[in-house]
Amino acid sequence: MIKEDEGSRHRLLIVSNRLPITIERRKGNLRLRRSVGGLATGLGAFYQSYNSMWIGWCGVSSEKISGEEKNSVRRELITDWDSHPIFLSRKDIRMYYHGFSNRTIWPLFHYFTHYTVYNKDFWSSYKEVNKLFCDEIVKIAKPDDIIWIHDYHLMYLPMCLREKLPNAKIGFFLHIPFPSFEIFRLIPWRKEVLKGILGADLIGFHIYDYVRHFLSSVRRLLGYEYVLNTITVGNRIVKVDAFPMGIDYMRFADSANNEAVKKETDRMRKRVKDQKIILSVDRLDYTKGLPQRLKAFDHFLDTYPEYKNKVTLIMVAVPSRTGVETYIQLKKEVDEMVGRINGKHGTFGWLPIWYLYRFLSYSSLASLYNLADVALVTPLRDGMNLIAKEYIASKTNGRGVLILSEMAGSVKELCEALVVNPNDKQEVSQALFEALKMSEIEQVTCNKTMQKRLKRYNVTQWANDFIDGLYKTKKLQQNLFSRHLSKKIEEDIIVDYRRSTKRLLLLDYDGTLIPFFTRPEKAEPDKEILCLLKTLTEDRRNKVVIISGRDRKTLDKWFGNLNISLSAEHGVWIKEDSKWNMIEPLRNNWKEEIRSVLELYVDRTPGSFLEEKEYSLVWHYRKADPELTSIRVGELRDDLEHLITNLDICVMEGNKVIEIKNVGVNKARPALYWLSKLRWDFILSIGDDLTDEDIFDILPEHAYSIKVGYGVSKAKFNLGSYLKVRKLIKKIGAAQ
Residue type, 74: R
Tell me what pLDDT residue 9 has.
54
Average the pLDDT over 335-364 and give the result: 94
In whole angstroms, give the CA distance from residue 380 to residue 282.
12
pLDDT score at 228: 81
Q: pLDDT digits over 34-69, tens only? A: 776 566 666 766 666 678 899 999 888 888 888 888
* Contact partners, residue 204, CB within 8 Å, separation at least 6: 171, 172, 173, 174, 240, 241, 242, 243, 466, 469
Please write the tens of the pLDDT for every residue from 468-485: 999 999 988 887 776 788
- Tell me: pLDDT of 3 over 70: no
DSSP-assigned letter for residue 716? S
**What are the DSSP calls for 63-109, one per residue?**
GGS-HHHHHHHHHHHHHHHSEEEEEE-HHHIIIIIIIIIIIIIHHHH
Residue range 189-211, pLDDT digits in tens: 999 999 999 999 999 999 999 99
What is the pLDDT, as a whole number, of residue 233? 87
Chain center to CA of 135: 23
* pLDDT per position as a tens digit, 576-613: 888 899 877 777 878 887 888 888 888 888 888 888 88
Q: How confident is the model at residue 4 (pLDDT cuts 50, 70, 90)?
A: very low
CA dist 200 and 291 (Å) reads: 38
Q: Does residue 387 have a pLDDT over 50?
A: yes
DSSP state of 54: E
Please report the pLDDT score of residue 218 as a whole number. Answer: 93
Give CA 696 to chain center in angstroms: 34
Which domains occur in the chain, in start order?
A: 8-242 (3.40.50.2000), 249-456 (3.40.50.2000), 487-586+666-734 (3.40.50.1000), 591-662 (3.30.70.1020)
Residue 299 φ then ψ, to 5°: -65, -35
- Between the alpha carbon of residue 601 and those of residues 255, 592, 653, 661, the distances in Å are 63, 15, 15, 17
- Residue 226: Cβ within 10 Å count: 16
Could you tell me which of 22, 52, 38 has the C-alpha nearest to residue 467? 52
Average pLDDT over residues 440-445: 96
Q: Tell me: the pLDDT tens digits for 296-312?
A: 999 999 999 999 999 99
Q: What is the DSSP letter of 347?
A: B
SS (H, E, C) 639-699: HHHHHCCCCCEEEEECCCEEEEEECCCCCHHHHHHHHCCCCCCEEEEEECCHHHHHHHHHC
Mean pLDDT confidence for 510-515: 91
Secondary-structure percent of the chain, ordered helix, strand, coil, rounded to 5: 50, 20, 30
Average pLDDT of every residue of the chain: 90
Helix (H) / strand (E) containing 546: strand 542-547
Q: What is the pLDDT of residues 228-282, one digit of tens each?
A: 888 988 778 899 999 999 999 999 999 989 999 999 999 998 998 889 999 999 9
Question: Is residue 498 classed as helix, strand or coil in its secondary structure?
Answer: helix
Question: What residues does 705 pair with on adjacent strands?
Answer: 685
Q: Which residues contact 469 (CB under 8 A, 6 or more apart)?
A: 171, 202, 204, 239, 241, 243
Please provide the size of the chain in residues.
Answer: 736
Q: Which helix (H) or strand (E) holds 325?
A: helix 325-345
**Is 80 exceeded by the pLDDT of residue 8?**
no
Distance between CA atoms of residues 58 and 22, nearest Å: 7
pLDDT the model gives residue 5 = 43
DSSP 156-210: THHHHHHHH-TT-EEEEE--SPPPPHHHHTTSTTHHHHHHHHTTSSEEEESSHHH
Does residue 609 sit in helix, strand or coil? strand
Pairing of strands 12-18, 146-150: parallel
pLDDT value at residue 6: 45
Sheet (strand 649-653) strand order: 609-612, 616-620, 657-662, 649-653
User: pLDDT tens digits for 665-721?
Assistant: 889 989 999 999 999 999 999 999 888 999 999 999 999 999 998 777 889 998 988
- Whether the pLDDT of residue 131 is over 70: the answer is yes
Q: How far apart are CA 190 and CA 220, in angstroms?
A: 11
Residue 266 annotated to the active site: no
- The angle formed by the CA atoms of residues 357, 150 and 451, to the nearest 5 degrees, is 65
The predicted pLDDT at position 427 comes to 98
Question: Which of the following is catalytic: 248, 508, 689, 694?
Answer: 508
